[in-house]
Structure 1
Amino acid sequence: MTWLFYTLPLLLLLAAIWIYNRLVFNRQRVAEAWSGIEVQLKRRSSLIPPLVECVRQYQQHEQDTLLQVTRLREQAEALQGAASAARSQAESRLGQSLRQLCVRLESYPQLQADRHYLELQQAISDCEQHIQMARRYYNGAVRALNVLVESLPSNLVARLCGFQVAAYFTLDDASQGESPRLEF
């Protein structure tokens, strides 16, 4: 019976250590996933000025759209290092604005034929796909962490050690998830 007296606390301690290590692993995976999103957002942000300049050379009457894209890019860059929820909203608005710009520019045949514009459009399209994949990975990492933080018995260790649920990367407006409307 004395072996049970010593073994049970040891087993509980080992279980708590194992749970704690899983929580730490998942918290680090969330941080790494957010870093991946930031890398892709920075890449997209660096592609916008050349795109805007290329488009500006072809047409001036889309000036409002170009100003909006530039303004949203500046807002998103100002939120670097901010909470993931605030940053995700700004980046979602920027992505929607970029999609609208590309749809509007489809009615400019000479712009569509320009090699630089096509390369920029392809780079932005690739970047948007990478951002989407990074968001999915981030949300998966958040889900894994949140399950541990909220389920028994790991929630006891999480609460004791100060682990919190993480915020998902979401759209602040459901219309941002829709495809842009084509206007001809």
Structure 2
Amino acid sequence: MLLLIGVVVVIVLLLVVVFNRFVKNKNMVKDAWSNIDVALKRRYDLIPNLVETVKGYAAHEKTTLESVINARNAAMAVPSDDINGQIKAENHLQQTLRSIFALGEAYPDLKANAGFLDLQQKLNEIEENLERSRRYYNGTVRENNTYGESMPGVLFTGMFGYQHFDYFEAEVAERENVKVSFN
């Protein structure tokens, strides 16, 4: 009888430890994402000012400017609890932002504009903060996903509502150079 009680106690303790680890990992991922979310909101606020500054110098680049605004609006429209959806939208927004800075290279007057330079500096600071936050987020995601996919966590993923998270990585298109053509 004592042996049976001992086995039950050990099983209950194991369940408690595994459950608590799932909760801890999920909360760490959400905390890490909240750091990214703050930087993203700062970037969303900066983008309209950047587009307006570029508009004055590159008025015939309307499609590029519209694509940046559309990507920003799409990223803002993703529900805040859809981390994986936000990652995809942010990767697209990042790509369109690169096209604005490519325009800066093509227009010397724009590149010399103090407002554009100030906005570019602020955006660079936000991007650096985002990079640090992404690294931390990816570390917490790695810990969460590894625990949920290895023993003993894998045995209890369904029972405890394990949630797999995607890494916040650069997409293939982001790794390529932006091509600007005025043909």
Compute the RMSD of aligned alpha carbons. Answer: 2.3
Whole-angstrom distance in 2 between the partners of 1:183 and 1:126 = 28
TM-score by length of 2: 0.86
Give 2:142's aligned amino acid: R
In percent, how many aligned pairs have the same letter? Answer: 37
TM-score by length of 1: 0.86
For structure 2, the 5+ residue unaligned runs are none
Contact 2:78 2:85 in 1 (8 A): yes
Of 67-76 and 153-162, deviating more is 153-162
Whole-angstrom distance in 2 between the partners of 1:169 and 1:54 = 29
CA spacing shift, 1:17–1:82, aligned 2, 3 Å: closer
How far residue 183 of structure 1 moved from its aligned partner, in angstroms, is 6.9
Give 1:34's aligned amino acid: W
Aligned 1:58-69 pairs, distance under 5 A: 58-69=57-68
Are positions 1:106 and 2:89 aligned together?
no
Question: Residue 175 of structure 1 aligns with which residue?
Answer: 173
Aligned 1:50-129 pairs, distance under 5 A: 50-81=49-80, 83-129=82-128
Contact 2:84 2:165 in 1 (8 A): no
CA spacing shift, 1:113–1:101, aligned 2, 3 Å: same
Q: Secondary structure at the match of 2:164?
A: coil
- Number of equivalent positions: 182
Whole-angstrom distance in 2 between the partners of 1:14 and 1:26 = 18
Question: Residue 163 of structure 1 aligns with which residue?
Answer: 162
Question: Residue 42 of structure 2 aligns with which residue?
Answer: 43
Give 1:130's aligned amino acid: N
Whole-angstrom distance in 2 between the partners of 1:158 and 1:22 = 11
Whole-angstrom distance in 1 between the partners of 2:166 and 2:36 = 14
Q: Secondary structure at the match of 1:160?
A: coil
How far residue 130 of structure 1 moved from its aligned partner, in angstroms, is 2.0
Whole-angstrom distance in 2 between the partners of 1:181 and 1:123 = 24
Whole-angstrom distance in 2 between the partners of 1:180 and 1:80 = 29
Contact 1:85 1:167 in 2 (8 A): yes
Contact 1:103 1:183 in 2 (8 A): no
1:57-110 deviation line (CA, Å, top 9, x unaligned): 223122221111111111111114262222222211111111121012113222
1:133-175 deviation line (CA, Å, top 9, x unaligned): 222222221111111111111222333222232233345x412
Contact 1:27 1:145 in 2 (8 A): yes
